[in-house]
A = this chain, B = another copy of it.
Amino acid sequence: MAAYRRYRKDSEVSYSLGITLTFELLQHRPEQAARVFIHSAMKEGDTLERLLCLCREQSVEVVYTDKIFHVMSKKENCFVIGEFSKYEGQLEKSASHIVLVNPSNAGNMGTVMRSALGFGLNQMAVIRPAVDAFDPKVVRASMGAIFSTDFAYFDSFDAYREEYGERELYPFMLDASMRLQELMPTGAFSLIFGNEATGLPAEFSRVGRSVVIPHSHRIDSLNLPIAASIAMYEATKGKVS
């Protein structure tokens, strides 16, 4: 009998906790899905049938056990866990990107993925040091959007820029040259956001055209997923149906 271990950054697999996320995994990344675990308290019925059917179609092993749930999930109503092998996506030069520079919070990264997918953006570059995109907390906060997102890690912004810099680059900073409402991209673009606590380093003001989301002085800043979502809304306005 295998022993189940808590997820770690260096694990080769990660997990979708809950049936909704596991459906997203099986629908959008079936080739990565390894096993699906089902708890003894999982209700029989149409939903379970549909899940088992998907597993059969995709040749994904089904394991009936309660053990992994004790290790992986503190939620009482989590009766399905998907196990998947990690993958790295390929960014496209012709597509627009979200670039997260040194993101430190898993929930924020997942929330940005979810909003991004809502605005038709499913390519994300992540500049290290950065939170692990496969942390089950990212998977959960993304509400499955991670399985429809291609992302790639880079050791520095320069490394990203070298490969993908031929596009409209928009770093978001408080001290910027342009207000968000003036942003009207005409081709592929990258919206670039800094760390939750520190924002982008000052030298990003020389990268492309820096953008600010005007807000009152009553607050220090908007939080990262909110700032990124407002920016994506404005940048894609009229282009999403």
Contacts and interface: CB of A to CB of B under 8 A. Distances in A.
Interface of A: 111, 114-115, 117-120, 122, 143, 145, 148, 180-181, 213-216, 218-220, 222-223, 225-226, 229-230, 233-234, 237-238, 240-241
Contacts of A213: 233
A23 to B, nearest CB: 12
A241 B230 CA distance: 17
A224 to B, nearest CB: 11
7 contacts: A115-B219, A115-B223, A215-B240, A216-B241, A225-B226, A226-B226, A233-B234
Contacts of A233: 180, 213, 230, 233-234
Contact of A118 (B143, B215, B234, B237): B215
Contacts of A117: 216, 218-219
A85 to B, nearest CB: 23
How many copies the complex holds: the figure is 2
A123 B210 CA distance: 32
A216 B229 contact: no
A216 B240 contact: yes
Contacts of A143: 219-220
A114 B223 contact: yes
Contact of A111 (B119, B148, B223, B240): B223
A181 B237 CA distance: 8
Top 7 closest A-B pairs, CB basis?
Answer: A118-B215, A118-B219, A226-B229, A117-B218, A230-B233, A120-B216, A214-B240
Nearest to A215: B118
A26 to B, nearest CB: 16
